[in-house]
Amino acid sequence: MRVEPGEIVTLIGPNGSGKSTTAKLALGVLATDEGTAYRKPKLRVSYVPQKLELSWTLPLTVSRFLLLTHKADKTQINDALAATETTHLAHMQMSNLSGGEFQRVLLARAIMSSPELLVLDEPVQGVDFNGEMALYKLIEKIRNELNCGILLISHDLHVVMSTTDRVICLNGHVCCSGTPASVTSSHEFKTLFGERTASGLALYQHQHDHEHLPDGSIESKEAALAHNHLTDDDLLPTSSSTTVGAKRTNADV
């Protein structure tokens, strides 16, 4: 598997399938038992964990929270808050944030270092459906503005399928991978999640304004349409180039 700049790759699969292990390999906090995991030298990586426990009795504003792990000036803090639409929360206590606000602040902290790779482990956990949709749109916005690769772990199949470029389905190994449309129609996916889930997900169309070329680079939608003499109505979801390692621990980031 590979994660390219400007690409959102989503890992799905049942509990214990290897999603978190794969994320740790990408982060460089876990070494491979077999195979190889390659990361670009001096790769800037940021991480949003599945859970972050804070002592709610500790007086801690959002601005101070952002400084716990980063040396940043006021401009950097303001830019991160603006990018995640949380400027109005700067002086609010972390203990008073809603689930969606808390996740947005975690994203703000993650992008302060201008990451080249952003690893998100269940970033919408504990957020209602409307909040989930808004957060996934925000993740797309961050990808577009930073042109960073995003490795996303999610159980929210119905929502995430409409925002990701490529899906990798794990169950101790790579069961299937490709565009959301190709994965949900595959036999392996239907075996793992059931026909009903696959049929329901077929209703969610993946829309983006770029196309992945065979070498992994990204072409704008306008350029792709002009080259192929097409209109918006002719554009269908396109497949992404994918390299899958022979061993389950192989990852190329």
Helix (H, G, I), strand (E, B) or coil at 16: coil
8-44+119-252: which CATH architecture?
A: 3-Layer(aba) Sandwich (3.40)
Nearest to 124 by CA among 102, 93, 148: 102
The string of DSSP codes covering 120-176 is EESTTTT--HHHHHHHHHHHHHHHHHH--EEEEE-S-HHHHTTT-SEEEEESSSEEE
pLDDT digit string, tens, across residues 121-179 = 988 887 888 888 899 999 999 999 999 999 999 877 777 777 899 999 888 888 888 88
H or E, element range at 201: helix 195-201
pLDDT band at 191 (very low <50, low <70, confident <90, very high): confident
pLDDT digit string, tens, across residues 53-81 = 888 788 999 999 999 888 888 899 999 99
**Pairing, β 174-178 against β 166-170:** antiparallel
Helix (H, G, I), strand (E, B) or coil at 92: coil
Q: Where are the domains of the chain?
A: 8-44+119-252, 53-114
CA–CA dist 203, 206 (Å, integer) = 10
Place of tokens 């329901």: 200
The answer to whether residue 200 scores a pLDDT higher than 80 is no
Q: Which residue has the higher pLDDT, 195 or 58?
A: 58
| Encoded tokens for 44 | 């800037």
Strand order in the sheet with 174-178: 45-48, 117-121, 149-153, 8-12, 166-170, 174-178
What is the structure's pLDDT at 199? 55
pLDDT band at 35 (very low <50, low <70, confident <90, very high): confident
CA within 13 Å, CB half, 182: 17
What is the structure's pLDDT at 208? 46
Q: Which residue has the higher pLDDT, 237 or 162?
A: 162
How large is the average pLDDT for residues 203-231? 47
